């Protein structure tokens, strides 16, 4: 209700500011006797961690997660799982010049309006640092999914557009995704992006992007019509990530241009006697329920407003000022959104999996 929690049955609640002593979360609703250790979470945090190449913010944090509760002798006990990451590289000085002036396009000004106070150090609660706890919770969710769903659920993401440069989906190669700093599924596009983003970075500018996340082997029937449709909850999950401005499922906005004939995914009987879909315009969700096809969604990520170019703004006293940001920053925050979006997909599916179990007939 206060906006720091996500999910209903599988639920996590986060706290922490960018430059406070620590960030953390409580993960509730994890069934008992699921194998879990810190390394299961660290692997995902390491993917998200900034400072690994010149295309993400140079903040260097080990982001070492500790499990404080809820696990006994390597198994979950059904009690809440407390997770903590201490902040080690806080360099508050870097942001001193923005303590009393508002970066256009940031949450600074509107936080000040709403709360009458804000922690200006590194963006405080509005910092992308908060997403580390999403990734940690997502790691728990993956363990839940992999334990409860036969064969496990395969969740993976990629960046499919940087600025105006979209990939050609026909060239998609998942193996390539891990082989470049952009999670780009097309090696040639990745090379072009590298040159393009170097230009952006050297200019002190920034650029947006589009991320695609997919989930395979999702059980049929996850989701709760009418208001908690699986796609509705996924849309909320993705739009809650910093800088996301749009979400689409399956054909998405392109569905507006389709006829009913082209949009409906026809069915034949599959080799196992069940339904075999002949296309996936729906992106794996119909009527708010998972169909068993791959869930496919995309999110649009805006460019960060922490740029070198001076922009017109106000200071805390209402004076007109110019603002430029000299601290560490990401030329394309969409890159780091990939593991975060994967994590939110995992958490949403884990929550709906538990909800489905409750009413299973």
Task: State the residue for tokens 């250790």.
Answer: 37
Torsion of CA 95, 99, 100, 103, to 10 degrees: 60
DSSP line for 326-337: -S---S-THHHH
Choices 35-43, 48-56, 100-108, 171-179 (CB under 8 A): range interacting with a second copy: 100-108
Minimum distance, C-beta of residue 150 to a second copy, in the bound complex (Å): 15
Answer yes or no: is 305 a known binding residue.
yes
Beta carbon nearer to a second copy, 73 or 175: 73
* Orientation angle between helical segments 38-48 and 131-148, nearest 10 degrees: 130
- Asked whether position 215 contacts a second copy by CB under 8 A, the answer is no
x/- string (CB under 8 A) for a second copy, residues 298-337? --xxxxxxxx-x-xxxx---xxx-------------x---
- Asked whether position 139 contacts a second copy by CB under 8 A, the answer is no
- Asked whether position 224 contacts a second copy by CB under 8 A, the answer is yes
Answer yes or no: is 306 a known binding residue.
yes
The sign of the CA dihedral 284, 286, 288, 292 is negative
- Asked whether position 125 contacts a second copy by CB under 8 A, the answer is yes
- Sorted by sequence, the CB contacts under 8 Å of residue 293 that are 6+ apart come out as 265, 277, 280, 282, 283, 284
Distance CA 25, CA 204 (A): 34
Q: Looking only at residues 235 through 294 of this chain, which bind a second copy when binding is defined by CB under 8 A?
A: 235-240, 245-261, 263-269, 273-275, 278, 281-283, 286-291
- Asked whether position 220 contacts a second copy by CB under 8 A, the answer is yes
Q: Looking only at residues 29 through 58 of this chain, which bind a second copy when binding is defined by CB under 8 A?
A: 29-33
Q: How many CA atoms, within 13 angstroms, populate the side-chain half-sphere of residue 361? A: 1
Q: According to CB under 8 A, which one of 69, 88, 92, 97 is a site residue for a second copy?
A: 69
Q: Looking only at residues 159 through 178 of this chain, which bind a second copy when binding is defined by CB under 8 A?
A: 161, 163-164
User: Vertex 200, ends 198 and 206: CA angle to 5°?
Assistant: 130
Nearest residue to 40 (alpha-carbon basis) of 143, 144, 153: 143
Strand partners, 26: 13, 82
- Asked whether position 111 contacts a second copy by CB under 8 A, the answer is yes
Q: Looking only at residues 180 through 209 of this chain, which bind a second copy when binding is defined by CB under 8 A?
A: 200, 205-209
Beta carbon nearer to a second copy, 175 or 269: 269
- Asked whether position 92 contacts a second copy by CB under 8 A, the answer is no
Residue numbers in the known binding site for FMN are 125-127, 242-243, 287, 302-306, 328
């Amino acid at each position: 209700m206060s906006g720091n929690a996500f999910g209903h049955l599988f639920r996590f609640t986060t706290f922490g500011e960018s430059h406070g002593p620590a960030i953390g979360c409580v993960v509730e609703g994890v069934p008992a006797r699921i194998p879990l250790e810190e390394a299961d979470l660290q692997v995902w945090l390491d993917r998200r961690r900034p400072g690994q190449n010149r295309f993400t913010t140079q903040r260097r944090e080990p982001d070492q997660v500790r499990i404080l509760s809820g696990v006994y002798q390597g198994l979950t006990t059904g009690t809440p799982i407390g997770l903590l990451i201490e902040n080690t590289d806080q360099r508050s000085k870097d942001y001193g010049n923005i303590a009393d002036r508002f970066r256009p396009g940031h949450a600074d000004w509107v936080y000040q309006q709403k709360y009458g106070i804000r922690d200006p150090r590194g963006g405080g609660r509005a910092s992308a640092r908060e997403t580390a706890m999403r990734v940690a919770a997502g790691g728990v969710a993956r363990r839940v999914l992999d334990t409860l769903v036969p064969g496990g659920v395969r969740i993976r993401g990629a960046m499919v557009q940087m600025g105006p440069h979209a990939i050609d989906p026909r060239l998609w190669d998942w193996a390539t995704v891990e082989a470049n700093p952009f999670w780009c599924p097309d090696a040639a596009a990745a090379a072009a992006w590298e040159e393009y983003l170097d230009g952006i970075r050297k200019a002190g500018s920034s650029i947006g992007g589009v991320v695609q996340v997919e989930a395979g082997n999702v059980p049929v029937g996850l989701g709760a019509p009418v208001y908690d449709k699986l796609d509705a909850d996924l849309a909320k999950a993705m739009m809650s990530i910093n800088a996301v401005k749009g979400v689409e499922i399956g054909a998405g906005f392109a569905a507006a241009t389709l006829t009913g004939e082209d949009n409906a995914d026809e069915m034949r009987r599959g080799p196992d006697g069940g339904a075999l879909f002949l296309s996936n315009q729906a992106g794996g969700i119909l009527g708010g329920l998972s169909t068993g096809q791959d869930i496919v969604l995309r999110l649009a990520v805006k460019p960060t407003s922490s740029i070198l170019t001076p922009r017109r703004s106000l200071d805390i006293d209402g004076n007109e000022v110019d603002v430029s940001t000299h601290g560490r920053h990401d030329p394309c925050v969409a890159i780091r959104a990939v593991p975060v979006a994967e994590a939110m997909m995992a958490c949403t599916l884990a929550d709906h999996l538990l909800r489905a179990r409750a009413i299973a007939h």
